[in-house]
Structure 1
């Protein structure tokens, strides 16, 4: 009888210990963060990205939470410090994060981008080297259109020195050129088409950079390869349905393909970011 009671107490104690222990499936419990570049107000970004994050979490079983920022500098600092598991960033900012953390690009849109410099249609300038010493308006110092066009003008054939001004948005860049505050402006070709459909006829493009890959959806190397693969597969499958394509279009990942660092983003190793950072409005 004593042995029976003793065995019962041991079994009860074991069951209590098992109940008290945490779940032994850490992969199922872990929450991964996705940082998105703050190129729009946080409220808009949350609205745009929430359907994608919810779909990925449901489709893959991987819990993902959005990490949004008010300032680009804070976003970039966190990315360079590896503070986020997944990352959606412009190519130049992705490259800076890659240098420090080796983020792995998983997926990008197949639509290539390029920078362009434009002037008013009645402007006397027909070539970019005629803008030596003139003022060129850019969206901001760290925007990809600013980085690739400034790099091109400082290093390409007919490289020139010029004054910069930062206008804050594509529309403000265009307005600066129209009212004569700037002699020329620089944007992405896609921004010109999407943001300024009516104003485009007022301008003339005098420089286009080479085409390059757009923003990647990337993963930190600490994210398990299995998780990277299921997230990549889920993103690519979204292109197979109308609803999925709508979700992708909203976050600018339309017609997604697998991304590759060497093919898509190694170009930025040529960019002198320190020199660009020193360019300030006069």
Structure 2
């Protein structure tokens, strides 16, 4: 009788263990997706962001899985649908996702962004109003430099103009240099980084107000405890040389806590529909 009772309890323990095992495995396999805006080739973004994804995975005790895209339109569709748990996006793209999903900005870099409109030094155009009806080269329709400079021109300066897409800062600069476009619009920091030698060939006609850079944000379904842990982990990276290099590579240098109202509510005044209706010449 004693042996039977012992065997019964042993079998019961085995049954309880096997029943609980799937739950344990499910908890161990918990993962979050991190969507990265495709502003560089996917292979470059994978190299730049893998160290941060692995670091966050260790800090959170869960898997943080990179989600990369080959098109900005796909990235926007995914984030506006709320398919990403975490997201790193240009300010204007973050705002579009915020409108639909109320993503919460957690951390951003300290280097502010500012757009500029420039012409060749020998250009006859001396003020922004001279660009009425002219062609301005921009990187692309969704890039933050394009959005903030066109918004400033259309609303602040109240001029109409044509656009042409260069695809990159250096191509925009070349278009202006060879006369394919009357003016160009880029971020001032991008020009310094990508085409420093060309800067001496241009005159800046207008600069926009500075805006906060790309935020690292979280979908509101992510528990606050997890969001706070991610914020702390990213801020802590700035405390070591290796961590600072990781942040600089991912364009999150000198991270600070982000705030929607302070940093990104500016985009509520941007007429995105009007910008979308602008077709390249």
Deviation at 1:9, TM superposition (A): 2.1
Q: Kindly indicate whether residue 253 of structure 2 is the aligned counterpart of residue 254 of structure 1.
A: yes
Deviates more, 1:59-68 or 1:92-101: 59-68
What is the correspondence of 1:158-237 to structure 2 with a 5 Å cutoff?
Answer: 158-237=157-236
Give the TM-score, by structure 2 length.
0.96
SS at match of 2:216: strand
Q: Deviations over 1:134-193 (max 9, x none)?
A: 00000000000000000000000x310000111111011001000100000000111011
Distance 1:215 1:266 in 2: 14
Distance 2:126 2:59 in 1: 52
Q: Deviations over 1:86-138 (max 9, x none)?
A: 00000000000000000000000011101100101111111111100000000
Which residue of structure 1 lines up, in the alignment, with residue 146 of structure 2?
A: 146
Over the aligned positions, Cα root-mean-square deviation in angstroms equals 1.4
Deviation at 1:8, TM superposition (A): 2.2
Deviation at 1:29, TM superposition (A): 2.8
Distance 1:281 1:48 in 2: 32
Structure 1 unaligned segments of length 5 or more: list them. Answer: none
Deviates more, 1:89-98 or 1:53-62: 53-62
What is the correspondence of 1:66-215 to structure 2 with a 5 Å cutoff?
Answer: 66-156=66-156, 158-215=157-214
Deviation at 1:26, TM superposition (A): 5.1
Give the TM-score, by structure 1 length.
0.96
Which residue of structure 2 lines up, in the alignment, with residue 241 of structure 1?
A: 240
Is contact 1:62–1:227 with CA below 8 Å preserved after alignment? no
CA 1:232–1:244 in 2, change beyond 3 Å: closer, same or farther?
A: same
Q: Deviations over 1:233-257 (max 9, x none)?
A: 0100111111111000001000000
Distance 1:220 1:26 in 2: 21
Is contact 1:115–1:186 with CA below 8 Å preserved after alignment? yes
CA 1:254–1:27 in 2, change beyond 3 Å: closer, same or farther?
A: farther
Deviation at 1:58, TM superposition (A): 1.8
Distance 1:38 1:251 in 2: 12
SS at match of 1:23: helix
Distance 2:222 2:60 in 1: 14
Deviation at 1:12, TM superposition (A): 1.0
Distance 2:126 2:65 in 1: 48
Q: Deviations over 1:251-273 (max 9, x none)?
A: 10000000000000000000000
User: Where has structure 1 moved over 6 Å in runs of 4 or more?
Assistant: none
How many residues align? The count is 280
Deviation at 1:7, TM superposition (A): 5.0
Q: Deviations over 1:206-250 (max 9, x none)?
A: 010000000000000111111111111010011111111100000
Which residue of structure 1 lines up, in the alignment, with residue 277 of structure 2?
A: 278
